[in-house]
A and B are shown apart, each in its own frame.
Chain A
Amino acid sequence: AQSVTQPDIHITVSEGASLELRCNYSYGATPYLFWYVQSPGQGLQLLLKYFSGDTLVQGIKGFEAEFKRSQSSFNLRKPSVHWSDAAEYFCAVGEDTGFQKLVFGTGTRLLVSP
């Protein structure tokens, strides 16, 4: 069965600084990979996804993520963080079976300092 690890529970970044959130997955076949963002008390919004092809994927709000099969990682990056990026970020992995049953990591809470 697939699993996802987000090793950082909290991360604090200064506004304007770069950001990298880590995600490692375990899955025996080609994974479908996702990053979602959740503001307090809200649902989850899809930032980006990887199904196949180019391993560097661009998402909304200036985010990007890179799939590295050799490291079983799918880290999320942003070159310059804005205060509005403060939220909780979830990495998820799905099966390449045509039916999505996503397994989520425990999330990383991003705090942005002035």
Chain B
Amino acid sequence: SQTIHQWPATLVQPVGSPLSLECTVEGTSNPNLYWYRQAAGRGLQLLFYSVGIGQISSEVPQNLSASRPQDRQFILSSKKLLLSDSGFYLCAWTVTGELFFGEGSRLTVL
């Protein structure tokens, strides 16, 4: 069966520090991969998606970036975090249409 792993689960970082969130999927090949952000009291905002290795599409201009170095690995990064980057980040995958989500990473920027 397919599983998705996301880490770290919780992160507290100072403003201006770098960020790396990692997501891996097991049990499937060539999935579409996604990063969503969920801010307090708001819905889910699509940040990045990828249809293959090295192929990244950005939905929202910001100081975040994403990379897909391997078929089932998706990384969300920032060189310098802002206060507004705080939120709950969710990785997701699909091969058949419906998205399957990881457990999320809660980022607090102080």
Contact = CB atoms under 8 A, between A and B. Distances in A.
Q: How big is chain A's contact interface, by range?
A: 20 to 34
Contacts, number: 50
B43 A100 contact: no
A44 B101 contact: yes
A21 B49 CA distance: 29
Contact of A100 (B32, B44, B101, B104): B32
A74 interface: no
A90 B43 contact: yes
A100 to B, nearest CB: 5
Nearest to A106: B43
A51 B97 contact: yes
Contacts of A94: 97
B22 interface: no
Interface of B: 6, 32, 34, 36, 42-44, 46, 49, 51, 90, 92, 94, 97-104, 106
